[in-house]
Amino acid sequence: MPFPPDPHMPQRAPLTSGRLPLQGLTILIVDDSRFTCDALRLILQRAGARLRRAESLEIARLHLGCYRPDLAIVDLGLPDGRGEDLIAELSSQGFPVLGLSGDPSGRGPALDAGAAGFIDKPIGSVAAFVRLIRQLVAGAGAEENGEDPPAPMGDPLALRDDLARAAALIAGRGDAGYAKAFLQSLARASGDAVLEAAVHQATTGFDRAKLAIMVEERLNALQTMA
């Protein structure tokens, strides 16, 4: 579920050394994957940022009509359109935006749309990610302490919810291209190389039956762990 818009955003405090590197910043994440958003939440909140989430272009624009975050992270594949459109809107207003995708080929379109940078799913270096945000918002790098903690994985419950959504998309008669992109991005973000390869290689009518079985197996495994 998206975070509710907050019309009463406090003034952002300047970033100073000795504080959490992103303390005082509000970041809007526009992504339809709960699993990805949970992983980003763990990184950004630990760095001191305040987060808002929108799962579609429509909800993102509702948020932006109520307050102005310090930075937006926008996924390229969204249920109601392309993230590049929102990136172009925000960048034209001088707004710092990072593009986000589980498909590395999305880097070019995101940058062409005006993104100041691009993030692959899953996040590689936590330190570099936090440093990039500081550079974009405040023109300052993160404090160097020689440590780069491993990027956290999202909550298994969030992964289960995303897999259930993927199963519904595969079984439905909606946009097959969006369904395939959502599942491939989820597989990449969760480190599931077997599923990612199966989605990438699917050519015969999206090979829905095979992918549906693979998703169901993973859902069953998560249910067993619960």
Please indicate, yes or no, whether residues 35 and 117 belong to a single structural domain of this protein.
yes
- Give yes or no for residue 32 having a pLDDT over 60: yes
pLDDT, mean over the chain: 86
Q: Is 12 within the bounds of a domain?
A: no
Q: Is 13 within the bounds of a domain?
A: no
- Give yes or no for residue 83 having a pLDDT over 90: yes
CATH number of domain containing 89: 3.40.50.2300
Look at the chain and report how many structural domains it folds into.
2
Question: CA torsion 165→222→121→127, rounded to 10°?
Answer: 140
Write down the H helix ranges in the chain: 34-46, 57-64, 83-92, 107-113, 126-138, 156-171, 176-189, 193-201, 208-225
Q: List, for residues 184-226, the tens digit of each pLDDT value.
A: 999 999 999 999 999 988 876 657 789 999 999 999 998 876 5
Q: Is 148 within the bounds of a domain?
A: no
Q: Is 14 within the bounds of a domain?
A: no
Please tell me the number of Cα atoms within 13 Å of 77 on its side-chain side. Answer: 22
CA distance 134 to 124: 17
Q: Is 193 within the bounds of a domain?
A: yes
Q: Is residue 61 very low, low, confident or very high in pLDDT (cuts 50, 70, 90)?
A: very high
Q: List, for residues 159-173, the tens digit of each pLDDT value.
A: 999 999 999 998 886
Q: Note down the domain range covering 182.
A: 156-225
Please indicate, yes or no, whether residues 58 and 120 belong to a single structural domain of this protein.
yes
